[in-house]
Homo-oligomer: A and B are copies of this chain.
Amino acid sequence: MSADSSIAIVGAGMTRFGYTPNRDLRSLAHEAVTESLLDAGLGPRDVERVYLGYCLDLNGQRCIPGQIVLRDLGIDRVPITRIESACSSGSLAIHEAFRAVADGRAEVALAVGLEKMSGASADATRESMSGGADAELEAALGITFPGVFGMAARRHMHRYGTTLDQITAVSVKARRLAAMNQRAHFDTAVGADEVMASRMVADPLRLLHCCPLSDGCAAVVISRASRARRARGRPVMIRGVAQLSGDFHIPGDLTSFPETTRAAGLACEAAGFGIADVDLFEVHDCFAIAEIMHCEDLGLCEPGGGGRLLEEGATLPGGRCPVNPSGGMIGKGHPLGASGVAQLVELTEQLRQRSGSRQVPGARTGLAHCIGGFTLGRPASVAVTVVAI
């Protein structure tokens, strides 16, 4: 899938992610969208098309969330489309906005990711989240996301000798980086002992091996670079995108998602460079074991080598292949529909060299990877976006 190299993220904004039961969807969206437009040097009336990633509708607004939250900002009349693809909803909103600019349907498109998870009851949240797997067949059997990744962790440990210390180190890294990220859900670092002292969720994964439920919104403005002459930062080119569904007819063993390898390959092919040319990665670390798996599936190390890669410091901002400098979902938080867009906000800031103590030195290319939903042992949806400055 080829990408028009002149189409870029010209503005980015996001709220701090976190637990904000007193903020509504509108308030979250207004902050992120306003920031993204100011960053792009554009106004609400410049926006010609909107795609909004929104997933669980836990707070009453079941339909047309885009029209409801953007109305009072002065974004109306234009096409506004909600995309849902579980945790990859925001990534696909970006892909669709990119396509709309590429094929001339819009000069300026807005991609928004939005979710408010606080304020709903535990039962409603659990029931809703279980709808990210097969609600009839899997949810009823307790095959929930923590269950799947707990099994994946045990299998990875068994097959490759990955240690619980290595898995725990993912959380420690995530929280350390999140503590440097003013927009992260968690603002404190934790040690391995704290992670291991947190309550068991799905053996061997404990609470701090899991991403939190967060509220938040992220937005990016997409246009041809030439359309945003008053932007506050350099345009970040969208060089390649790829979207896949799971390969449900080939049994997997939970230690690897070949869909990640395939999607990353397609997106890099469109971008015209290889994984080795990518300077930093934001990957879908919904659980600590997942970051280790994704590093392997992206080819940053050999299968089974993800734990050691981390121990060697290669995935730190100054390392050979920095992964989740934002703090990832474990540290930054995971408002489902917002996360895919937030990954691109982080990459945009990093490529503009604006990330302060989390900065990946000299980063010029980045890759974002999201998975959404899970069924038959495979991710339901995988989305990869490759950008360059």
Contact = CB atoms under 8 A, between A and B. Distances in A.
A275 interface: no
A136 B67 contact: no
A128 B380 contact: no
A319 to B, nearest CB: 32
A61 B245 contact: no
A315 interface: no
Contacts of A381: 64, 67, 80
A288 interface: no
A96 interface: yes
A56 interface: yes
A229 interface: no
Nearest to A378: B76
A78 interface: yes
Contacts of A147: none
A197 interface: no
B86 A83 contact: no
A27 to B, nearest CB: 11
A56 to B, nearest CB: 6
Contacts of A59: 135
B372 A64 contact: yes
Interface in A211-264: 243-249
B56 A376 contact: no
Nearest to A88: B64
Contacts of A130: 60, 62
A82 interface: yes
Contacts of A356: none
A353 to B, nearest CB: 33
A55 interface: yes
B71 A376 contact: yes
A168 B307 CA distance: 70
B85 A81 contact: yes
Q: How many of these chains are in the complex? A: 2
B63 A131 contact: yes
Contacts of A320: none
Contact of A68 (B56, B102, B105, B375): B375
A60 B139 contact: yes
A75 to B, nearest CB: 8
A249 to B, nearest CB: 7
A135 B62 contact: yes
A77 interface: yes
A117 to B, nearest CB: 13
Contacts of A64: 84-86, 132, 372-373, 375, 380-381
Given A67-B381, A105-B1, A82 B83 contact: yes
Contacts of A248: 67, 71, 76
Interface string A119-141: 00000000110111011100100
A245 B92 contact: no
Interface in A334-389: 372-373, 375-376, 380-381
A137 B244 CA distance: 38
A121 to B, nearest CB: 14
A6 to B, nearest CB: 16
A375 B67 contact: yes
Contact of A83 (B81, B131, B245): B81
Given A56-B62, A62-B128, A63-B86, 15 more contacts: A55-B63, A59-B135, A63-B132, A63-B372, A67-B245, A67-B373, A67-B375, A68-B134, A68-B375, A71-B376, A76-B248, A77-B245, A79-B245, A80-B85, A83-B83
12 contacts: A57-B131, A60-B131, A62-B132, A63-B84, A63-B380, A64-B84, A64-B85, A76-B246, A77-B244, A81-B92, A99-B105, A103-B103
